[in-house]
Chains A and B, each alone.
Chain A
């Protein structure tokens, strides 16, 4: 099946710094990618939809100036957490859909665990 990678798999940073997370579709092209956030013992919550060649769309309550998304190519989307704070510590997961004849399947990256000190 299709593979989505994320880098880094984990990162620890100091409060106030910025962190960039990469999401790559390794063997297929993705015009759309999704970014989710998951806090401990909770389910995944959609943060934003990344669109190749255009601006990302953000879910209500997600600050677009804090979580910068760039979808520069058909295989790469990046999420930058700017001026990170401890409350941004979470598990960040990206996904990319593939087009199927009858339905779409989404492939998820392995996730990036962010810890802000």
Chain B
């Protein structure tokens, strides 16, 4: 399994952009990079995923390095509700889909100050 490295914690001010980095230098060529987040006392929720190209959705943007050894989750305007632990998770793909469990690292705890 690919190993990931994320900062233990980060702080942001409300309404400002946040860049959450993840190093996944051992990722294989077919692994997708998924991001999940876990708000306090809740189950994790899916944020975004990508393979090679940068991706945008209503929650965030994902910037993937050209060599795929790192990626950055971008929250364009942090809100208090974005305070959570963010997990970067490579997903091993097998033919026909992974359907595998997610392996959670320690993630990055994001604090948002009003």
Contact = CB atoms under 8 A, between A and B. Distances in A.
Task: Say whether A and B bind each other.
Answer: yes
A107 B101 CA distance: 11
Given A93-B44, A111-B42, A103 B101 contact: no
Interface stretch (A14-22, A43-51, A69-77, A81-89): A43-51
B74 to A, nearest CB: 19
Contacts of A107: 46
A3 B76 CA distance: 26
B91 interface: yes
Nearest to B46: A105
Give the interface size bracket for B toward A: 20 to 34
Interface string B44-66: 11100101000000000000000
Main DSSP-derived SS at the A contact region: strand
Contact of B93 (A103, A106, A108): A103
Contacts of B93: 103
B25 to A, nearest CB: 20
A35 to B, nearest CB: 9
Contacts of B102: 34, 44, 95, 106
Interface in B6-58: 32, 34, 36, 38, 41-46, 49, 51
Interface of A: 1, 4, 6, 32, 34, 36, 43-46, 49, 91, 93-95, 97, 99-100, 102-111, 113
Interface of B: 32, 34, 36, 38, 41-46, 49, 51, 87, 91, 93, 97-107
7 contacts: A6-B43, A95-B44, A97-B98, A97-B100, A99-B97, A104-B91, A106-B102
